[in-house]
Amino acid sequence: MRLFTLGTGAGRPTLHRHTSATALEYEGEVFLFDCGESVQLQLVRSPLKWGKMRAIFVGHLHGDHLFGLPGLLGTLSLVDRKEPLQVFGPVGLKEYLRVHLEIKSLWINYPLEVIEIEKPGLILETERYQVFTGPLGHIIPCWGYAFREKPRPGVFNDSKARALGIPEGPERMELVQGRSVTLPDGRLIQASEVVGPSRPGRSFAYCLDTRPCEEVVALARGVDLMVHEATFGRELQADAQQWGHSTAADAARMARESGVKRLVLTHISQRYSDPQVLLHEAKEVFPEVELAEDLQVFPV
C-alpha cells in the first residue's frame, strides 16, 4: 500500500509543483484523489499501472482539482479500457462531464459511473476495504476521503506449519482465512495453532481544500497517514481563513487532534520558493510530518 503525490501545488502549476492529484496503490488497484490538469503526465512519469485504476475521488469543483478529469477519462477510452470505473465527487460533477460528452470533446467506451455525494459516510466497500467521505470547510462544497482497510489476517507461522505436517496449498490458505482444516491423516488443525492474531488494517485520509474543522478530525481519526493541505504559512492566516484554506500549523493541529500517525503536507502555494518554512511551522505542532514533492512515494 503506497501513496504517490502526483501534484502538490495550489491554484496553478509551477515548474516544480503540478496541480492537485494523489494516487493510492493498494494490492494492485489504483485510486486517484483529485485530478488536476497535468495528472496524465504525472501518471506516465510514475511507476503506477494506471490501467488498473479502480475509482477516482474528486474533492470539489475548482479547476486545479478537476481540469484533468475529462482528459484522463478520454485517454482510458483510447487505450481500450473495458473495466468499469467509478468517479465520486460533489453535486455538479455529472453536469460537468455531461457537457463534455454532449459537445463531443469527450467520449467514453467503458462502463462509467459518476456518483455525486450528498451526505457523509460510507461510499465504497469491498471485502478488503471501505472508503468514507465527510464535508470539509472550503468556500464551496468540498469532500474529504478516508480509505480504511479492513482487519488483516494474522501472520502465518510457516515453521510451525511444517512441524505439524501441513502441506503447502489450499489447506494453508484456509487456515490464513481463519478456518480449520482436516489433514489426510485425520488430524483437525485450528487456525489459531499456526496463525497469529488479526492485524489492524492500514488507513489513509485525504483532506483538501479546507479550513481547520471538526469534520477533518472525525474523518481522519487514527489513520496511519493523513494528506492535508498547507497552502499558507502563519503570516497569511487571515488569507487562509478567508479563502477556505489551512496554514501548515493548522494542518499539524488537525493531525494532532485526529490522532494520526503521520502527516504529509501538500497543496503548497506558489509564493513559497522555499517551502521548508511550512515544514518547520508544522513540526512545531506535530513532529511526524513530511512536506510532499511531486512524484514522491509514501508507504502506508
Given the residues 64, 209, 250, 294, select the one marked as catalytic. Answer: 64
| d(C-alpha 61, C-alpha 257), whole Å | 28
Would you call 64 a catalytic residue per the annotation? yes
Question: What is the DSSP code string of 224-260?
Answer: SEEEEE--B-GGGHHHHHHTT--BHHHHHHHHHHHT-
Which are the catalytic amino acids? Answer: 64
